[in-house]
Structure 1
Amino acid sequence: MIDSGTETADAVVVGAGHNGLVAANLLADAGWDVLVLEATGVPGGAVRSAEVTAPGYLSDLYSSFYPLGYASPVLRRLGLDAHGLTWTHAPDVLAHVLPDGRAAVLNRDPAHSAASMEAFAPGDGQRWIDTYDDWRTVSRPLLDALFTPFPPVRNGLELLGRLRAAGALRLARRLVLPSRQLGRELFRGEGAPALMASCALHTDLSPDDAGSGIYGWLLAMLGQEVGWPVPVGGAQKITDALMDRLLARGGRISYSAPVDRVLVARGRAMGVRTAGGTLWRARRAVLADVPAPVLYLDLVGAAALPPRLVEDLAHFRWDGSTVKVDWALDGPMPWTNPQLRGAGTLHLATDLDGLTRYAADLACGQVPEEPFLLVGQMTTADARRSPAGTESLWSYTHLPFRRDWRVEDVTRHVDRMEAVLQRYAPGFKALVRGRFVAGPADLEERNPGLVGGAVGGGTAAAYQQLFLRPVPGLGRPDTPVDRLYLANASAHPGGGVHGAPGANAARAALHRDRALTGGLYARVIGAAHRAVYR
């Protein structure tokens, strides 16, 4: 029972990650009184920056380059540029480094990218241009469909109209191809296929997994179309802009307020309780930017949920654990291959078969002896990140998902990471002025939403996407508890800093609340959940 003296709001948003802040902003735009409860002492979740390596060196603590955020219609409609968010680009978007030191380089100029791919096989330059032309035909409706609630009827019809039946069938086939097969069909040399497959490994998918091709194609083609930009002054600027916008619209936020229970009465979310027993009443909705297993099993509790949903959650799969290292360097990276010096992001250093072996080690629960590294040259992308003539560098790689990684295991893996960097940039270690290591436990401690250091909100595998995310159901942010919505990357459309899960949850809450349709909406959604979960 929530007494009349309890603090109230139209909507209580659990978690001030970027999805929670997007949801809060959209509800505030609709005139709702919005309260955000954040478990830690700062907002932003995995979109934050700080000086952690050495004075004057700014590091993005979690996420960094933002092709999805830059292209996202959700973030674009929020007008965050009016709240101080500006973007900048490295000279080159991405370089994929092969074991022999050669590199396939993606540049925002398609002719430059094509020339790099042509060096690997005659004709691959034109094939790259043709692949990009295919992308441009579908990019806007495809992105709009990706970032709206499932099923994307209106945008799906627009796609069909552009492609006609035959083209739509070929696109549908491309959506399920493994990246190895997609690269084999599109190109002849090894440069372009390795670059696209390594883009797919930003998720937890192998080059041979169904559906991995679309991730590689999407990220590579977005890089060609809009680049992989970074916010001027750090990832924190995205969070700062979202916060500034929310507060300007009357939104409120309470820090160090970890929610330990969603309060449910008669099948409806009534509010939440924070650690220590404080109750917060929600007049209209509760939106949770926390992973689905945490929301359902920890905050709601199995007793208030359909048995089938609880059973399905036992099969929820996390993406891999992550180790991230930031370095402050006294000078630019001394790459042996000069093509790497202008790239904001690098994929280091393996061919397609090596990517498969790396992914197979992870799938078998083994630590890869030859880690595949994602590397960010942050000063190359944004000169404000460190003193002139230096470099703020980071790298991350994946481990099998576990929540019990020992410090010594992480330390040994960091040694492997630095050995790879030293191999392709001799003299790297001598330039290190400071270092900051974040293993899986560190990531989760500083951001409780990164369970076990998993940064994607759950696997990107096809069996946990669309209407199968987070479990088989409606593919929507609505939950079996009326007026409770999942606004986290573990909901469709998944990980990445694009704001779609938060926006989808806000739209669902607004639709449910409309005076004339709310009752019907609740009955329809409730009936659908009963059909799926009972």
Structure 2
Amino acid sequence: MTPVVTADALVIGAGHNGLVAAAALADAGWDVVVLEASSTPGGAIRSAELTPGYVSDLYSAFYPLGVSSPAMLALELDRVGLRWTHAPRAYGHPRSPDDEDAPVIHHRPEDTAAMLARHDPRDGDAWMQVVEQWNRIRDPLLHSLFGSAFPPVRGATQLFRRLGTAETLRFLRFALLPARAMAHELFHSEAARCLLLGNAMHADVPTDAPASGILGYLLTMLAQDVGYPVPVGGAGELAAALVRRAERPGARVVYDAPVVRVDVSGGVATGVRTAGGEHYRARRAVIADVSAPALYGSLLPHDAVPARVHRDLETFEWDTPVVKVNYALDAPIPWRSASLNGAGTVHVGADDDGLVRWNADLVTGRIPERPFMLFGQMTTADPTRSPAGTESAWAYTHLPRGVVDDASADLLAARVDTVLEEHAPGFAASIVGKHVQRPSDLTRSDANLFGGAVNGGTAQIQQQLVFRPSPGLGRAETPVQRLYLGSASAHPGGGVSGAPGLSAAKAALADSGPVGAVRRRAVGALLELVLR
């Protein structure tokens, strides 16, 4: 008979959110066990040699939130050996295949402004005004978006104090703008507008949808502020550092231990069971770094969850499926625009109007003829990724929602090659290794990437804030006491911010504190009210 393992807290999944939660709980003196389904940590933060001698980041690759979000900063990962590095330029965006002067983000805002002024003299000043605004609101905005508390009262209060009533109202209106409207309000040239619009496409929100602009603004300003850093040696080095950080105060990570059930007794989570038959008991908390549909739909007993939650999750909306193409190249990429040679990230395939057409294809179920893509030049950002004079690179783009078959993915990957060849003639001739990750591959490698969705559910406004993952479940607490959702399906969503994991850990700590019983009753009453 397999002995029962008991710990203060059990964490389901060693993705970055799970490891952030484990570190926070272990720092508080809790005995923590992390149960990871695969043989390696990191979730969607992993790297591998798909082509010998070339390190490929399999999922996420650039980490502006990893060096700016409060949850990640608090870990001080440099103390456990993590090293960051940067490309000479953060990112660029060619407006067409013939663009020989593509706009790029330089490390100094004055240099970016001077570059944009060549396209329209007004945009140099406009850029510096946006940077000045960012510098005023940076910290309260980051705490509001990625702090561990929800609702974000502290960050919102700081923002109000910085701006005052009138300017706070204007900023709230600005934050709710569609990306296209925001870009046109801020800038005059296509070059400047594309710098913001390309970043807005890191999520699955169309450029004409409300609140799509704030992500573009955030990533654009972070690129100007902290750049788009990468871990030296590959994304796997970030995952390894997170493991070391969690283990330093005593957390333990168990691999090849897929959790198949959360035990519930009297409305309280008491432990978990693994596919191998192991039984783990939790004295204080279970934190789930898994998707909301997986937690409520398969891990929990059906009758442990209110019927309202089951009905709400029937309309849970995943983000659009990803197709990722990893390249090993025997030479630097021959971009038509020399400005892109030093850019870590390149947004390729569409200008302002082209992004609207691309989104229309996705909405109407058409596989795009000319896919817009995010493209990473990893050796440019980190010379350790491949031999000198070569490039480890990748492109990722999207299929329409619900289109996840391998044939469609392969067709889209071939069209990615075509678009890259147009922007960099000779690109195809330099390919010495190529590996396509289809939605089926992503799901098979990480169940949280269901159907090729990489953000834990759509980032559109109807599934954010108090609506994430469903109406009324905007906090880490769940209808089951001592069970907390700490994944990208929870607020604030995808991106390597660590906020969902830290939020879950802090909720667990608060529930076990001096007024924990009172707090649990209050939260339970609130959930009962909204989930009737």
Under a length normalisation based on structure 1, what TM-score does the superposition of the two structures give?
Answer: 0.97
Letter of the structure 1 residue corresponding to residue 256 of structure 2? S
Unaligned ranges ≥5, structure 1: none
The equivalent position to 1:25 in structure 2, one of 5, 23, 26, is 23
Residue 168 of structure 1 corresponds to 168
Is the contact between residue 207 and residue 352 of structure 1 (CA under 8 Å) also seen in structure 2?
no
Residue 407 of structure 1 corresponds to 406
Is the contact between residue 401 and residue 452 of structure 1 (CA under 8 Å) also seen in structure 2?
no
Residue 445 of structure 1 corresponds to 444
Q: Tell me how far apart the structure 1 counterparts of residues 243 and 181 of structure 2 sit (CA, whole Å).
A: 43
Q: Tell me how far apart the structure 2 counterparts of residues 362 and 268 of structure 1 sit (CA, whole Å).
A: 42
Offset at residue 233 of structure 1 (A)? 1.1
Query: Which secondary structure state, in structure 1, belongs to the residue aligned with residue 517 of structure 2?
Result: helix
Aligned: 1:299 with 2:299: yes
Q: Tell me how far apart the structure 1 counterparts of residues 510 and 89 of structure 2 sit (CA, whole Å).
A: 43
Letter of the structure 1 residue corresponding to residue 486 of structure 2? A
Letter of the structure 2 residue corresponding to residue 97 of structure 1? P
Is the contact between residue 35 and residue 251 of structure 1 (CA under 8 Å) also seen in structure 2?
yes
Is the contact between residue 313 and residue 470 of structure 2 (CA under 8 Å) also seen in structure 1?
yes
Name the stretch that deviates more: 422-431 or 111-120.
111-120
Offset at residue 482 of structure 1 (A)? 0.1
Residue 261 of structure 2 corresponds to 261
Offset at residue 437 of structure 1 (A)? 1.1
Which structure 2 residues correspond to residues 318-329 of structure 1 after superposition, within 5 A? 318-329=318-329
Query: Which secondary structure state, in structure 2, belongs to the residue aligned with residue 106 of structure 1?
Result: coil
Which structure 2 residues correspond to residues 73-84 of structure 1 after superposition, within 5 A? 73-84=70-81
Q: Tell me how far apart the structure 2 counterparts of residues 419 and 249 of structure 1 sit (CA, whole Å).
A: 50
CA deviation map 1:264-304 (0-9, x unaligned): 11000000111143221111100000011110111114321
Offset at residue 116 of structure 1 (A)? 2.4
Q: Cα RMSD over matched residues?
A: 1.3
Letter of the structure 2 residue corresponding to residue 94 of structure 1? Y
Offset at residue 449 of structure 1 (A)? 1.0
Aligned: 1:56 with 2:56: no
Offset at residue 40 of structure 1 (A)? 1.0
The equivalent position to 2:528 in structure 1, one of 517, 527, 530, is 530
Aligned: 1:372 with 2:372: yes
Letter of the structure 2 residue corresponding to residue 204 of structure 1? D
Name the stretch that deviates more: 18-27 or 228-237.
228-237
Residue 95 of structure 2 corresponds to 98
Aligned: 1:479 with 2:478: yes
Offset at residue 317 of structure 1 (A)? 0.6
Aligned: 1:502 with 2:501: yes
Name the stretch that deviates more: 498-507 or 465-474.
465-474
Residue 351 of structure 1 corresponds to 351
Residue 41 of structure 1 corresponds to 39
Offset at residue 228 of structure 1 (A)? 0.7
Q: Tell me how far apart the structure 1 counterparts of residues 3 and 219 of structure 2 sit (CA, whole Å).
A: 50
Q: Tell me how far apart the structure 2 counterparts of residues 32 and 365 of structure 1 sit (CA, whole Å).
A: 48
Is the contact between residue 2 and residue 278 of structure 2 (CA under 8 Å) also seen in structure 1?
no
Offset at residue 365 of structure 1 (A)? 2.0
Residue 251 of structure 1 corresponds to 251
Q: Tell me how far apart the structure 1 counterparts of residues 188 and 158 of structure 2 sit (CA, whole Å).
A: 32
Letter of the structure 1 residue corresponding to residue 131 of structure 2? Y
Offset at residue 15 of structure 1 (A)? 0.5
Which structure 2 residues correspond to residues 145-156 of structure 1 after superposition, within 5 A? 145-148=144-147, 149-156=149-156
Aligned: 1:72 with 2:53: no
Q: Tell me how far apart the structure 1 counterparts of residues 415 and 118 of structure 2 sit (CA, whole Å).
A: 30
Residue 120 of structure 2 corresponds to 121
Q: Tell me how far apart the structure 2 counterparts of residues 253 and 77 of structure 1 sit (CA, whole Å).
A: 21
Offset at residue 472 of structure 1 (A)? 1.0
Query: Which secondary structure state, in structure 2, belongs to the residue aligned with residue 443 of structure 1?
Result: helix
Letter of the structure 2 residue corresponding to residue 153 of structure 1? V
Q: Tell me how far apart the structure 2 counterparts of residues 474 and 13 of structure 1 sit (CA, whole Å).
A: 19
Q: Tell me how far apart the structure 2 counterparts of residues 164 and 396 of structure 1 sit (CA, whole Å).
A: 41
Residue 242 of structure 2 corresponds to 242
Is the contact between residue 313 and residue 471 of structure 1 (CA under 8 Å) also seen in structure 2?
yes
Offset at residue 4 of structure 1 (A)? 11
Letter of the structure 2 residue corresponding to residue 83 of structure 1? V
Query: Which secondary structure state, in structure 1, belongs to the residue aligned with residue 494 of structure 2?
Result: coil
Offset at residue 339 of structure 1 (A)? 1.0
CA deviation map 1:212-271 (0-9, x unaligned): 110100000110111111111111111111111222222112111111111111000000
Letter of the structure 2 residue corresponding to residue 326 of structure 1? N
Which structure 2 residues correspond to residues 376-395 of structure 1 after superposition, within 5 A? 376-395=376-395
Q: Indicate the percent of aligned positions where both proteins have the same amino acid.
A: 52
Aligned residues: 529
Q: Tell me how far apart the structure 1 counterparts of residues 3 and 80 of structure 2 sit (CA, whole Å).
A: 35
Offset at residue 474 of structure 1 (A)? 4.7
Letter of the structure 1 residue corresponding to residue 40 of structure 2? V
Q: Tell me how far apart the structure 2 counterparts of residues 498 and 305 of structure 1 sit (CA, whole Å).
A: 28
Residues 59 and 304 of structure 1, relative CA distance in 2, 3 Å threshold? same
Q: Tell me how far apart the structure 2 counterparts of residues 372 and 405 of structure 1 sit (CA, whole Å).
A: 18
Offset at residue 5 of structure 1 (A)? 4.4
Offset at residue 144 of structure 1 (A)? 1.3
Is the contact between residue 326 and residue 393 of structure 1 (CA under 8 Å) also seen in structure 2?
yes
Name the stretch that deviates more: 174-183 or 115-124.
115-124
Letter of the structure 2 residue corresponding to residue 129 of structure 1? M
Residue 178 of structure 1 corresponds to 178
Under a length normalisation based on structure 2, what TM-score does the superposition of the two structures give?
Answer: 0.98
Stretches of 4+ moved more than 3 A in 1? Answer: none
Q: Tell me how far apart the structure 1 counterparts of residues 131 and 235 of structure 2 sit (CA, whole Å).
A: 28
Is the contact between residue 290 and residue 487 of structure 1 (CA under 8 Å) also seen in structure 2?
yes
Unaligned ranges ≥5, structure 2: none
Aligned: 1:418 with 2:420: no
Q: Tell me how far apart the structure 2 counterparts of residues 465 and 323 of structure 1 sit (CA, whole Å).
A: 24
Letter of the structure 2 residue corresponding to residue 9 of structure 1? A
Is the contact between residue 376 and residue 395 of structure 1 (CA under 8 Å) also seen in structure 2?
yes
Letter of the structure 2 residue corresponding to residue 42 of structure 1? T
Aligned: 1:136 with 2:140: no
Q: Tell me how far apart the structure 1 counterparts of residues 260 and 45 of structure 2 sit (CA, whole Å).
A: 23
Offset at residue 152 of structure 1 (A)? 1.1
Name the stretch that deviates more: 118-127 or 196-205.
118-127
Query: Which secondary structure state, in structure 1, belongs to the residue aligned with residue 344 of structure 2?
Result: strand
CA deviation map 1:432-490 (0-9, x unaligned): 11111111110111111111110011111011111111111152100000000001011
Q: Tell me how far apart the structure 2 counterparts of residues 308 and 360 of structure 1 sit (CA, whole Å).
A: 33
